[in-house]
């Protein structure tokens, strides 16, 4: 049964998106964090541009792992250039191992290998 990683609502098989928040559903519900627990964000991998990073980010989100894309390097913040800059894929520290497992399992011969 799929779950919404944000709302934590369970859906019947065949539904792909949450009716409440629109998120892509995950096959597994991520563990709940106690209220007030600080979140530590860590980098999983750096990609050449926004497009490459966003493809991998959607894969992680589909598994219930929240992802942040951060443009890095010179020129970031200038009008219209952020998408061309390298982007770092960041996840919660508690999701790091699972995120690396998913990225490594999904990387093929033509994909940029995650670090």
pLDDT at 109 over 50: no
Q: 99: which DSSP letter?
A: H
Domain boundaries, the chain: 1-29, 41-106
Query: Average pLDDT for residues 1-23, to the nearest whole number?
Result: 83
Q: Which CATH number fits domain 41-106: 3.40.50.300, 3.40.50.450, 1.10.3430.10, 3.30.70.1530?
A: 3.30.70.1530
pLDDT class of 79 with cuts at 50, 70, 90: low
* CA–CA distance, 92 with 73 (Å, rounded to integer): 22
Query: With pLDDT > 70 as the criterion, what percentage of the chain qualifies?
Result: 82
Q: At 92, which helix (H) or strand (E)?
A: strand 87-92
Q: Does pTM surpass 0.85? A: no
CA dist 46 to 17, 18, 25, Å? 28, 29, 25
């Amino acid at each position: 049964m799929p779950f919404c990683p944000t709302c934590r609502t369970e859906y019947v098989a065949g539904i792909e998106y949450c009716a409440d928040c629109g998120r892509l559903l995950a096959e597994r519900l991520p563990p709940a964090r106690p209220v007030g627990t600080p979140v530590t964000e860590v980098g999983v991998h750096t990609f050449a541009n926004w497009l490459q990073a966003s493809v991998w980010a959607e894969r992680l989100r589909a598994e219930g792992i929240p992802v942040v894309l951060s443009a890095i390097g010179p020129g970031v913040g200038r009008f219209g250039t952020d998408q061309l800059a390298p982007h770092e894929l960041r996840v919660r520290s508690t999701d790091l191992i699972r995120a690396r497992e998913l990225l490594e399992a999904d990387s093929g011969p033509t994909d940029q290998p995650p670090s």
